Amino acid sequence: LCLTGHHLIFSSRRQDNAEELWLLHSNIDSIDKRFVGSLGTIIIKCKDLRIIQLDIPGMEECLNIASSIEALSTLDSVTLMYPFFYRPMFEVLEDGWSSFLLEQEFELLSSVTNEWRLSCVNKEFSVCPSYPPVVIVPKSVDDDALRKVALFRHGGRFPVLSYYHKKNGMAMLRSSQPLTGTNGRRCKEDEKLVNATLRSGRRGFVIDTRPLAVAQQARAKGGGFEQEVHYPQWRRIHKYIERFNILQESFIKLVEACNDQSHNMDRWLSKLEASNWLTHIKELLTAACLAAQCIDREGASVLVHGSEGTDSTLQVTSLAQIILDPRCRTIRGFEALIVREWLQAGHPFQQRCAQSAYSNSKQKWEAPVFLLFLECVWQIHRQFPCSFEFNEQFLIMLFEHAYASQFGTFLGNNENERAKLKLPQKTMSLWSWVNRPEELSRFQNPLYEANSLVIWPSVAPQSLQLWEGVFLRWNRPSRFLEEAEEERINIIKYNKELQARVNALRRRLAELEAEDEDEEVQ
Amino acid sequence: FHAVFLLQVENVKLLDRYTNRKAASGTLYLTATHLIYVDASAEVRKETWILHHHISSVEKLPLTTAGYPLLIHCKNFHVAHFVIGQERDCHDVFTSLLKLSQPVKPEELYAFSYNPKMSKENREMGWKLIDLRLDYQRMGIPNDSWEITDINKDYEVCSTYPPEIVVPRAATKAVVMGSSRFRSRGRIPVLSYLYKENNAALCRCSQPLAGFSARCLEDEQMLQAIREANPGCPFMYVVDTRPKLNAMANRAAGKGYENEDNYENIRFKFIGIENIHVMRSSLQKLLEVCEMKSPSMSDFLTGLENSGWLRHIKAVMDAGVFLAKAVKEERASVLVHCSDGWDRTAQVCSLASLLLDPFYRTFKGFMVLIEKEWIAMGHKFSHRCGHLDGDPKEVSPVFTQFVECVWQLMQQFPCSFEFSERFLLEIHDHVYSCQFGNFLGTCHKEREELRIFEKTHSLWPFLLQRKQELRNPLYRGFTAYKELQPNTLPFSFQFWCGMYNRFDKGMHPKQCVLDQLLGCLSQKVTLEDNASHLENKLPIPDGPVPSEGCTSPKAGAAAAKAPTRPQDCAEGAAPVLSNGPSLGHQKHKESPAQPRDLGASREDGQAQHQ
């Protein structure tokens, strides 16, 4: 066992088994010590849900090691974290920090419509601290109006374009709650902004991710929702997507249930049910389907928000895009989606992913919001196994890196913080590594065939499953499942090779025939 | 339609249970064997076929604005909700279906009228496809310790056993006859599977008539003979698959379980699998959960838990795993029984064999397993499946549970079965369809009396014909995996949507990996043909073709593994698979005459699953 500044390294002394375990200190969620006589045991629980047990002879030594690990895994300052020290061993082909710029996204948009513009109103992060410097807004709304709208929306998060549905020109906007308060304040600019996204005579839908009662209560604290009188062209639908500590508790309960091997069937099923995890999955998928349905089927524009607009809002808008937009189901497109709808949109990764399911701290701001999103993508993936360019491993990899990583991508809570930390200059981007061909090949889905259609997942309980790849990953043998995956890849790969060979033979034959003809002519 | 209709009703609606799509509207026909619904509202003609034998209940529901609803539940978990315009029509359909779905006499069963236009010789060959003697031969029997005896040829030992049984050589006729008087319904201990590697045997029987104190010397000698047939282990297990309480209650009726003091060197053990009545009501509860209209996640999981279904599946699996481990790891012989030894005993013995022996995970092997442990040993298919109008308390999903256990294993070991889930569903369908003779009656004696071998067809050749569509593309071949050691922690068991919500297509994955891979495999054959055809055309075979990797012998993992070695492997294992005159082989080689005969039936067979 060896502790470095950032890693716990365990190497087996046996010659035959040169296996080494490298564990990032930042991956450690909690550690327990136990003593039986002079034999000490340290149980390390990781954010990726793995549990490692170290038996250490000697009480003193054990205590020393434990306190070192504890100190190293709970660094106070972000700038001491590994990404600031990590020196990649690979050649950077493409800097991931500039792989996904909103400007590129806007260029694509401009080729189909001229109703939108890029606004730099937030260049200094002064209008909205959790927004990126550039955002896409309706062309008819100027920056002054945006500044006014920002004052009317929680945290300054005025409505911006999240997704444009090329098929029918409908738009999905996201924002935070309007600050109507108990007096029913209104903001003409806000109304103008959202109405600018409507086709004449058409209605739009506001999807509020809170139940009506919660939205009403929010008014007492200065928040609120869009009232019919002021937004007559909009229909409001309330969904119920859980937040923060409820999700975190659910996560903790589920992981507890998965790790307890003493359960009988009834107890397992009742624990699974009581964790409510799958209920959250079902609710979230339902809300995303609703948003997608409004856009694709009803031909209406949609505005999505909850309270702050940094959690459930982003879950809904990004999942709706997975359903609607084939591009988001490619590897590049999915990465772009995460950059656009999560990182740039200001999901507070550092707060939410500070601790995972084994933490005892129960801080209010920790929640598996991003994991829940990834699992929903996995559920859709399971129902449409041929429509995604990436595989399950890709999603698991993203889960791991969101919680602990050598890359700077998921550090900080928004673009503002990332700029202050100078992450693009001082750390390596996850995308720089992932997008190298040798890494990408591990994440490709052999069954992928581009599918340009909207994909509607089933949300029936029978259609949803526990994500074994994450929750049972360390509790069950994976050999046989990996072999199956290998077999799938081989079958498809072999066919592709055969096809190539047949094509090559055909070409060659054609060439020969052509030569023969030439000779005959001569 | 060539068939004669018994009844024809126009303007019938078929409701879709889950989507709010507009109900289909069309015509309902009743033939002698099927209910056929033709959807006239769809752009493409869509037919729904329901075999009368598959119908488990018909209900008239209260009148709605749309008309008179008729709810049909099927044994293969199809639920059809029709709405008929006229009350009279509805009543006619209702009464006809009641009659047609519950035949009274065995001769009315579909198998006796089913005519796939097959020659007499082929039909007879079909019945010989599975030869249990060959399976015993595979185990090395007869040998010094075990013999195949026809002592039961006149059913004197046991009326529900087949004429030929395998018993220890050391057990004399007197011992066998004596033991049979001490075992419920004469179901004496016989061999189910011999694990050749270490001579540990899996044996099965019914409960002893021990009461509180009765003994039987011959029965004790019988167990001793079984134990001594495996000299490598000083003891043997006797496993009672019932809950202890049930077994104890049986003692009051003069039955019960073995007293460890009376039998030399046995280790007695209870494995609590519930009885047929508990299983029946468990399935009923499960189906109610499956049929709930838009349930919440909580409703579903709570319902799933309360049904107890997965708990029972786990119990059966645990028992199978225990037997396999005892045989393989402890090298001990095991004698298994429940009450009569034809339900739970059949489940756990066949499961243990499947875990121990990769042969049973091939097409042919699985057929042998079902013929051996279920059909020959007298699982009362006719009663458990409710083939005829009879006692509803005798109906129980015992075989369904076994099929599900196999499916659960497939989830854990995706490359170890030659066949896919579809093969299981196909067999499950036909256990209820009564289209083939295999599952009719309750035991061999009854099947002889029904003359099913002369009058009906065997299912197996028909399934072998369809090997290509029923196979598992991921199968790694006969030798890739030996014994399976499944994980039986509760989270290893999944709800089988493909079975219990099979006809609710909306719930299933919208893209099917199995179809994709099967497509790949059939495409592979064409491509390989193309390639060799083109190669032959090329005048000089010079130089490597741009995309190599397929021709060169060390073309890497992909090329080495991808050609479906599975099939080749299995067929290569000659002594293993030469079980009976193999129609499968002939089909494989595409002999022109036979497949056509068999093929004729296929359309019919498929039609019923719409």
pLDDT tens-digit map of A244-255 = 889 999 999 999
d(CA B427, CA B226): 33
- In the block, which residue shows the tokens 């396999």? B324
* CATH fold group of domain A2-75: PH-domain like (2.30.29)
Of all residues in chain B, the one with the smallest CA distance to A267 is B305
Determine whether A330 is exposed, middle or buried from the number of CB atoms within 10 Å of its CB (0-12, 13-18, 19+): middle
pLDDT over 60 (residue A42): yes
Residues annotated within the binding site of B for substrate are: 275-276, 338-344
Q: Hey, CA dihedral for B603, B607, B608, B610, is it positive or negative?
A: positive
In sequence order, what are the beta bridge partners of B268? B238
Chain B residues 522-541 with CB within 8 Å of chain A? 523-524, 527-528, 530-531, 534-535, 537-539
In chain A, the N- to C-terminal Cα span, in Å, equals 79
- Cis peptide preceding B461, ω within 30 of 0: no
Q: Which candidate, A179, A243, A186, A187, places its Cα nearest to that of A210?
A: A243
Residue contact A490–B562, C-beta within 8 A: yes
Collapsing DSSP to helix, strand or coil, A16 comes out as: coil
Residue contact A463–B507, C-beta within 8 A: yes
List, for residues B293-324, the tens digit of each pLDDT value: 889 999 999 999 999 999 999 999 999 999 99
Q: Which helix (H) or strand (E) segment is B201 a member of? A: strand B200-205
pLDDT at B57: 96
Contacts B551 to A, Cβ<8 Å: 501
pLDDT at B587: 34
Assess contact for B39 and B14: CB atoms under 8 A.
yes
| Average confidence (pLDDT) over B414-433 | 98
pLDDT at A2: 86
> DSSP per residue over B463-485, as a string?
HHHTHHHHB-TT---TTT--S--
> From the candidates B511, B526, B564, which should be mutated to test the interface with A, based on the most A CB atoms within 10 A?
B511
In sequence order, what are the beta bridge partners of B29? B8, B36
| Average confidence (pLDDT) over B479-508 | 95
Residue contact B300–A477, C-beta within 8 A: no
Q: Which candidate, B9, B140, B116, places its Cα nearest to that of B435?
A: B116
More confident call, B266 vs A10: B266
d(CA B58, CA B429): 19
d(CA A353, CA A237): 30
* Dihedral (Cα; B146, B148, B150, B155), 10-degree rounding: 80
Instruction: Select from A462, A480, A497 the Cβ nearest to the Cβ of B501.
Output: A462
For A219, how many CA atoms within 13 A lie in the half-sphere containing its CB? Answer: 16
Q: Cα-flanking dihedrals φ and ψ of residue B47, to 5°?
A: -115, 140
In sequence order, what are the beta bridge partners of A206? A236, A303
pLDDT at A434: 96
Determine whether B221 is exposed, middle or buried from the number of CB atoms within 10 Å of its CB (0-12, 13-18, 19+): buried
pLDDT at B591: 34
Beta strand pairing status for A234-238 and A204-208? parallel
Confidence of residue A39 (pLDDT cuts 50, 70, 90): confident
Residues of B annotated as part of the active site: 338
List, for residues B132-145, the tens digit of each pLDDT value: 999 999 999 999 99
* Dihedral (Cα; B345, B349, B355, B356), 10-degree rounding: 160
Confidence of residue B285 (pLDDT cuts 50, 70, 90): very high
Instruction: Spell out the domains of chain B, with CATH numbers in brackets.
Output: 5-102 (2.30.29.30), 121-505 (no CATH)
Based on C-alpha coordinates, what's the Rg of chain A?
A: 26
Determine whether A90 is exposed, middle or buried from the number of CB atoms within 10 Å of its CB (0-12, 13-18, 19+): exposed
Of all residues in chain A, the one with the smallest CA distance to B476 is A487
pLDDT over 60 (residue B594): no
**Closest Cα in chain B, distance from residue A48 (Å):** 19
pLDDT over 90 (residue A423): yes
Collapsing DSSP to helix, strand or coil, B92 comes out as: helix
Q: Where in chain A is the domain with CATH 2.30.29.30?
A: 2-75
Residue contact A266–B302, C-beta within 8 A: no
Residue contact A462–B507, C-beta within 8 A: yes
pLDDT at B40: 85
| Average confidence (pLDDT) over A79-84 | 90
d(CA B378, CA B165): 12
Go through B142-181 and write b for each residue having 16 or more CB atoms within 10 A of its CB, e for each that does not.
Answer: eeebbbbbebbeebebbbbbbbbbbbbebbeeebbebbbe
- In the block, which residue shows the tokens 């507009």? B22
A429: tokens are 């981007």
Assess contact for B102 and B56: CB atoms under 8 A.
no
Confidence of residue A57 (pLDDT cuts 50, 70, 90): confident
**Mean pLDDT over the full length of chain B:** 88
pLDDT at B20: 58
| Average confidence (pLDDT) over B84-96 | 95
d(CA B562, CA B520): 11
Collapsing DSSP to helix, strand or coil, B49 comes out as: strand
Q: Confirm or reject contact between B506 and chain A (CB < 8 A).
A: yes
Confidence of residue B18 (pLDDT cuts 50, 70, 90): low
* Dihedral (Cα; B123, B124, B125, B128), 10-degree rounding: 130
Q: Cα-flanking dihedrals φ and ψ of residue A61, to 5°?
A: -60, -40
Confidence of residue B584 (pLDDT cuts 50, 70, 90): very low
| Average confidence (pLDDT) over A322-330 | 97
A390: tokens are 């990436």
d(CA B487, CA A104): 50
List, for residues B221-251, the tens digit of each pLDDT value: 999 999 999 999 999 999 999 999 999 999 9
Instruction: Select from A270, A476, A484 the Cβ nearest to the Cβ of B474.
Output: A484
Q: Cα-flanking dihedrals φ and ψ of residue A29, to 5°?
A: -90, -45
